């Protein structure tokens, strides 16, 4: 299999997963993630929560909020906006993260000073 075939297959997997999953609300998948992550939204595949936080409604609501951002912006739009904000303001201050911290019920202090709350 040459490089172009592999790239084509890779893009195909994303397009198929995007087509199937974007309209759905994913069930959280419990798995270990690198610290200090408590959860992750990885469009178009789903949301992932660490075993320790699997029953934490705040963490689940936070990742579902990112999933709604993905549904609103599309796969490319979500990735571009998330990476762009992350590079320009940093994870702690980026608007997409603050939106989900707020929506999931974090305190005002934790919305604006996330690392002080969760390391």
Min dist CB 96 to Zn ion, Å, is 7
Instruction: Decide: 92 and 114 in contact? Cβ < 8 Å.
Output: yes
Least CB distance from residue 5 to Zn ion, whole Å? 35
Q: How far apart are CA 20 and CA 67, in angstroms?
A: 14
How far, in Å, CA of 61 to CA of 116, rounded?
20
* Binding positions for Zn ion, 83-102, rule CB under 5 A: 97, 100
Instruction: Measure CA 7 to chain center.
Output: 23
Residue found under tokens 């690198």: 34
Token output for 10: 């890779």
Least Cβ distance, residue 82 to Zn ion (angstroms): 9
Which residue lies nearer to Zn ion by CB, 15 or 79?
79
Q: How far apart are CA 33 and CA 40, in angstroms?
A: 8
Q: How far is the CB of 50 from Zn ion (least distance, A)?
A: 14
Give whichever of 21 and 62 is closer to Zn ion, judged by the CB atom: 62
Binding mask 46-85 for Zn ion (x = CB under 5 A): ----------------------------------------
Helices vs. strands in the chain: H and E counts, helices first: 5, 3
Residues binding Zn ion: number (CB under 5 A): 2
Q: What is the contact surface with Zn ion in residues (CB under 5 A)?
A: 97, 100
């Amino acid at each position: 299999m040459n490089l172009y075939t592999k790239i084509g297959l890779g893009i195909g997997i994303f397009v198929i997963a995007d087509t199937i999953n974007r309209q759905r609300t994913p069930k959280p998948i419990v798995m270990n993630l690198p610290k200090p992550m408590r959860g992750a939204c990885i469009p178009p595949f789903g949301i992932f929560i660490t075993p320790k936080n699997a029953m934490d409604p705040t963490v689940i609501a936070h990742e579902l909020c990112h999933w709604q951002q993905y549904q609103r912006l599309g796969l490319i739009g979500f990735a571009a906006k998330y990476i762009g904000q992350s590079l320009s303001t940093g994870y702690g201050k980026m608007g997409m993260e603050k939106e989900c911290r707020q929506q999931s019920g974090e305190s005002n202090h934790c919305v604006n000073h996330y690392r002080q709350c969760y390391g």
